[in-house]
Amino acid sequence: RRQSPWICWALSSPIYKTKYVITDNLMCRMHHKASVGVLLAFSLLVTGKQYVGDPIDCISKDAVPSNLLDTYCWIHKTFSVSSAWKGKLGDEVAYPGVAPHVEGEPKVYHTYYQWVCFVLLLQALFFYVPRYTWKTIEGNRIRSLTEQLSSPMQDKATLEKARNMVVEYLVSNRGHHTGYFFGFVLTEAMYFVNVVAQIFIMDRFLGGEFSTYGMRVIQFTEWHWEARYDPMIQVFPRMTKCTFHMFGTSGDIQKHDAVCVLPINIINEKIYVFLWFWFVILSVITGLFLIYRLVVIVSSSVRFHIMYSRNRNVSSENLREIVQTISSADWFIFYQISKNIDPGNMREFVDEYVRELDGTNKASRQKLK
């Protein structure tokens, strides 16, 4: 493979890490920047409440120390009585899900709350995996190619040398960018698979309640206040029950019922409402971007309009000639370069690239004769 022009240029050009180079798109940044930032912030918030604040308070009518109850019920699990979810508050039940438990009656156990901060952190890491994959595939190629062309302040000789080196690289490596391009397509597909998979994983984590959580919250806001049954209370109950067993004075095992207040679930319910809407919106946007990417691959007309919309100061005839001459993979790296070049340099770069393409095509035709 003829990559010597790029290799020489990469080795001879200092790479300044402070320079921001764009090698992805808005959808990717919604995943690896916005989503990672939001999940990390939520994880820190829950961690602070869980380990610095007071995530659970349990009381019992029996003489069981409250700090012992708090620790036991937090480490083990609390539960709600299924038949008491929709009982009339104050008459039939003390709180949704809190009522005397009859032996054999189904109970809903809550064990997720002690794991929320860790799960959110793990989700943030998974959202960054596609970004790490793309950085490995990309290998600072665009940074190396555009380092000297991103600013109009360079002297004329330096700019001309830089343009010639990049043009020579593109011309001599035509047809060799398929791996680079489809590496990016793979990354976009990874973003989509990740966000959809995380919706299903969170649904499993919350006992099958997450997939329809947002829709039920919307419906809840539309109900008459007297008929309202808050779905967030069932998924994230603020009051639950806990059963504590200990030895009595005579050596027999005694059962103590406790009621636990979970202030941490006030935070959890808000977090997961936001995440439901965010993940649904993100999955739709990512799916649309994959369709857009497919259209870009098959349509040279779309590729031209994308390039021209970014480079209005460039000759449309020259751009059209480039797009119609090179493959979609070569177009992609050309597009990546255009996002990181100063507009003034871009115009001269395109003109030089067209001249080189014309010369190469002419030489190829003469060889065929």
Q: Annotate 69-136 with DSSP letters as a single string.
A: HHHHHHHS-EEEEGGGSSSPBTTTBSBTTBSPPPTT--EEEE-GGGTHHHHHHHHHHHHHHHHHHHHH
For residue 369, is it within any domain?
no
For residue 161, is it within any domain?
yes
Percentage, residues of the chain above pLDDT 70: 83
For residue 175, is it within any domain?
yes
For residue 200, is it within any domain?
yes
Cβ neighbours of 172 (radius 10 Å): 16
Q: What does the alpha-carbon distance between residue 272 and residue 182 come to, in Å, rounded to a whole number?
A: 34
Q: What is the mean pLDDT of residues 293-320?
A: 94
Amino acid symbol at 361: N
Strand partners, 57: 261
Q: What is the pLDDT of residue 97?
A: 74
For residue 229, is it within any domain?
yes
Q: What does the alpha-carbon distance between residue 245 and residue 69 come to, in Å, rounded to a whole number?
A: 10
Tokens of 23: 């090698």
Residue with the larger pLDDT of the pair 77 and 188: 188
pTM listed for this prediction: 0.84
- Residue 34, pLDDT above cutoff 70: yes
Q: What is the pLDDT of residue 360?
A: 67
What 3-state DSSP class applies to 242? strand
Q: What is the mean pLDDT of the chain?
A: 84
Strand partners, 109: 79
Q: What is the pLDDT of residue 284?
A: 98
For residue 366, is it within any domain?
no
Domain count, the chain: 1
- Residue 157, pLDDT above cutoff 90: no
For residue 368, is it within any domain?
no
Report phi then psi at 219, rounded to 5.
-60, -40
Report phi then psi at 348, rounded to 5.
-70, -35
pLDDT in tens, 52-88: 878 888 888 767 788 888 888 888 888 888 777 766 6
Task: Provide the residue range defining the domain that includes 154.
Answer: 4-361
Half-sphere exposure of 300 (CA within 13 A, CB side): 10
- Residue 145, pLDDT above cutoff 50: yes
Q: What is the pLDDT of residue 36?
A: 98
Q: Could you tell me which residues come within 8 angstroms of residue 201 by beta carbon, excluding any fewer than 6 positions away?
A: none
Half-sphere exposure of 54 (CA within 13 A, CB side): 7
For residue 201, is it within any domain?
yes
Identify whether the C-beta of residue 227 lies closer than 8 Å to the C-beta of residue 141.
no
Of 270, 35, 205, which Cα lies nearest the Cα of 130? 35
- Of 6-15, 75-84, 147-156, 243-252, which one has max mean pLDDT? 75-84
